[in-house]
Structure 1
Amino acid sequence: MSSNIIDERLTCGARVLLVPSQANQIVALCAFLPIPGAIERADEAGLVGITLRMLLRGTKRRTADELAFAIESLGTSISFEVFQDFSLGSMVCTDDALEPSLNIFFEVLQEPSFEPAEFEKERQSTLAAIREQMDDKLAVTQRAFLRALYGEHSYGFSRLGELETVKEFRAEQAVALYGNFVDPSAALYVCVGNFDPDRVRELLNAVVIARPTAPMEGVIPEPLYVRNKTIHIDREFEQSFLIVGFPACPISSEDWVALRVLNSVLGEGMSSRLFVKLREGMGLAYATGSFVSFHVRGGHLAGYIGTKHESVELARDLMLEEFSRIREERVPEEELERAKNYVVGKNLIDHQRNARRAFYLGYWETVGRGYAMDELYPELIRKVGTDELHRVARKYLVEPTIVSVGQRIVQ
């Protein structure tokens, strides 16, 4: 696919990756904005996200209702979201609606109105979403785990924000953040779908403008992980939730590929170790598995389980046994092949839609791996061997952080 990618810069300096494809009549555009959610201080948790969501609440030309009507009339979708290391604007439209859809997308990105009344609506909507998360045992446990592992580092903050921070937000803060950090000419634009590259280049050159903003280099420090920490949070949930996790490597490390496969062995799919042991073997879980995240400055890998309150200690001990076993014993070749096939298969299936293809190309470029990684990814996964898997297991699966949420049962 790399031979089909047109990599160039617009007259304003913005970089674009154009990937024409006639596989369907859909065009997807991803705008990778160099505004990491992790720039937030503790008292600003959630500010980047609420600022981005405000872009769809009216422009200098249209009210929020008029904007929504214009987007929906084209059958187009536009969204903005924040990640730890960047922010993302996305647009998906049919090929015959590309020009008006692009015009609206850049109107939204470059001409937001930040009306105080609309900001208050978004603030209340965000507070409602946070309260909803507080009633979800998985969300509560994940939030607590990240804060426990990353300490005061911003990777440990919820990108949605906290009730105590969002309650204090004012429209002026969003206006200031937008003015200081949103420069459309500094974004990476990735367009995938049925389009004429010359026409898209012409359209982008006509609409993308440059704005002076504050420098963003070096704003995210390396995390100082908190290791060997155990936390229990008493909540009146019907069941308990447990996460046992470890610091992992940043995406720049060569270890990330083996850790990605290691996560699959541990907790992805119904033949993974945690599923077979904790759910099928012991009947402890209604949900169990593992997850891994790699950021520019750090990362983590963790196992999780939802279980009865009285089974939390047993589940914790058995999960720790599985982590210990994979540290001490090499994974058999057959099991390793299953795990690698699972990772590669999920990746290929996720590339069926143009929007996901655009996302992955831009993601790899934005985090410093280069967009060619999207094509190399399956090959790198398949090259992981038992020795490499054993090495990273011994290196990273030590000094766990353990967080449980639910009713404590004294046994």
Structure 2
Amino acid sequence: MSRTRRSSSPAARRGVTSSGVARPAGGAARAITRTLSDDPLGGTVRRTVLPSGLRVLTEAIPAMRSVSFGIWVAVGSRDETGPQAGAAHFLEHLLFKGTNKRSALEISSEIEAVGGETNAFTTKEYTCYYARVLDEDLPLAIDVMCDLVADSVLAAPDVETERGVILEEIAMHDDEPGDEVHDLFARAVYGDHPLGRLISGTEETVTPMTRRQIQSFYRRRYTAPQIVIAAAGNLDHAAVVKLVRQALRGTPLDTDPATPAPHRPTTPAVRTKPAATLVEPKETEQAHIILGCPGIDRVDERRFALGVLNNVLGGGMSSRLFQEIREQRGLAYSVYSYASQYADSGLFAVYAGCAPGKVDEVLDLTRAELQRVAATGITEAELARGKGMSKGSFVLGLEDTGSRMSRLAKGELLYGNLMPVDELLARVDAVTLDDVNGLAAELLARPMSLAVVGPFDESAFAAR
């Protein structure tokens, strides 16, 4: 028997769980709805937590004639054990293959018959299923998408069919060296940790995976407290909540949670390897290289400074690396830097695609530029330009319902709150030259890992 420790928090004294569900004394849980913002750059944002722990967020934008609707699950490839590698992605495929109410054809044809579109994607920390439809067809989209996520059959013949499709997808990925090098770099930094593995899994893990293993993963991981539903466009929040509850009634997602949901599980604990060089020999016309290091996690307060630093280094055509390597010397067609951030870790890296004979020069120039910025920092003019790029790209990215829907879900799922647009812009404006230069001095001085895909063997980079 477990012991119950009395909480002194205001929420606990009011009978509110950490997932936001009110539990009156001696009574059943009830849904709680809050207005999160009336954003001048968007619409009214509301959030409801259902008794099951499932969260529904909407942004009402009356000027739109469409709605984007997404179901986001806090499950990705980092939640898999070694033998399960690829299970989250495998499941993403299978959920579209049929439910107790609909066949695979009916799932796609019902949405396409009204001119809508559906899709899904799996990342290392979450999976998303989404539809975009005319506002009048939102009830249909909610019913179809909730049905496929909550009540998929996972029929044995479909498992075998999709296994073949996924193996073809893995083979296709192997034929894209510009994509493969990013996975190679993640492995160089994270090694055998799930963050270092392929989201799709490998032929060795996908081939023997059984229906029972996938079914177990589905029912253990796809629980209501781990799910956020988000919608943006011409909608009414109360109507969306009502339709979601109707669509989920009687399914496994319509039960009270055993425990409240964390914002994002961070197990297994992240660990990085010492700096490493990995080379994938391939007879390609172009070499693909990534040089980089562990970065910062997504809740690190320095993330706004990192965005500015990334813009200055390799975030656009005016960036230092683009100007030096492409514009002035013509050594590469594509060169850019990027930052990836996870719950408890991150990456910072520079990518370049160039002729094999130019790899050494590109690497030397990249290292020299990173060392220069680490030692002397950036200028006031670069700071202003980097901040402008951050603000502009963020606001311009909110010009469609899909991006607004994603913003709602990621805010809730990954951060546990939705930062208003004005506050986010203010946080970027508040970044100082000292903030950026201090981060650059620390980050860019870290030991760098190198990933290379091209006509080389590892001995070619042994001394680099």
Per-residue deviation at 1:302?
0.1
Per-residue deviation at 1:185?
5.5
Per-residue deviation at 1:252?
1.8
1:55 aligns to what SS in structure 2? helix
Deviations 1:228-271 (A, max 9, x none): 32222221011111100110111121121111211111111111
Out of 9, 20, 26, the residue aligned to residue 66 of structure 2 is: 26
**Matched-pair contact (CA < 8 Å) for 1:183–1:210:** no
- Percent of aligned positions with the same letter in both sequences? 25
Partner residue of 1:400?
Answer: 448
Deviations 1:85-109 (A, max 9, x none): 2222212211111112211111111
Residue 178 to residue 203, structure 1, CA distance change in 2 (3 Å): same
User: 1:364-383 to 2 correspondence within 5 Å?
Assistant: 364-368=411-415, 370-372=417-419, 374-383=421-430
Partner residue of 2:9?
Answer: none
Partner residue of 2:340?
Answer: 293
Distance in 2 of aligned mates of 1:64 and 1:338:
49
Partner residue of 1:48?
Answer: 88
Question: How many positions carry a matched residue from both structures?
Answer: 411
2:96 aligns to what SS in structure 1? coil
Per-residue deviation at 1:376?
2.5
Rg larger for: 2
Q: Does 215-224 or 197-206 show the bigger shift?
A: 215-224
User: 1:117-132 to 2 correspondence within 5 Å?
Assistant: 117-132=157-172
Partner residue of 2:5?
Answer: none
1:5 aligns to what SS in structure 2? strand
TM-score normalised by the chain length of structure 1: 0.94
1:305 aligns to what SS in structure 2? strand
User: 1:7-406 to 2 correspondence within 5 Å?
Assistant: 7-184=47-224, 186-208=226-248, 209-211=253-255, 218=265, 220-368=267-415, 370-372=417-419, 374-397=421-444, 398-406=446-454
Residue 124 to residue 326, structure 1, CA distance change in 2 (3 Å): same
1:2 aligns to what SS in structure 2? strand
**Matched-pair contact (CA < 8 Å) for 1:180–1:213:** no
**Matched-pair contact (CA < 8 Å) for 2:53–2:256:** no
Q: Does 227-236 or 141-150 show the bigger shift?
A: 227-236
Q: Does 309-318 or 186-195 show the bigger shift?
A: 186-195
Per-residue deviation at 1:11?
4.3
Distance in 1 of aligned mates of 2:240 and 2:278:
52
**Matched-pair contact (CA < 8 Å) for 2:224–2:257:** no
Residue 297 to residue 373, structure 1, CA distance change in 2 (3 Å): farther
Deviations 1:298-353 (A, max 9, x none): 00010011111111111111100111011011211112211221222111121111
CA RMSD, 1 decimal: 2.1
Distance in 2 of aligned mates of 1:166 and 1:192:
35
1:405 aligns to what SS in structure 2? strand
Residue 369 to residue 269, structure 1, CA distance change in 2 (3 Å): farther
Distance in 2 of aligned mates of 1:229 and 1:256:
25
Distance in 2 of aligned mates of 1:329 and 1:38:
37
Q: Does 86-95 or 8-17 show the bigger shift?
A: 8-17
Residue 213 to residue 140, structure 1, CA distance change in 2 (3 Å): farther
Distance in 1 of aligned mates of 2:424 and 2:150:
34
- Structure 2: state its 5+ residue gaps: 1-35, 39-43
Residue 164 to residue 23, structure 1, CA distance change in 2 (3 Å): same
Per-residue deviation at 1:219?
5.2
2:384 aligns to what SS in structure 1? helix
- Structure 1: state its 5+ residue gaps: none
Please identify which structure carries the higher helix content.
Answer: 1
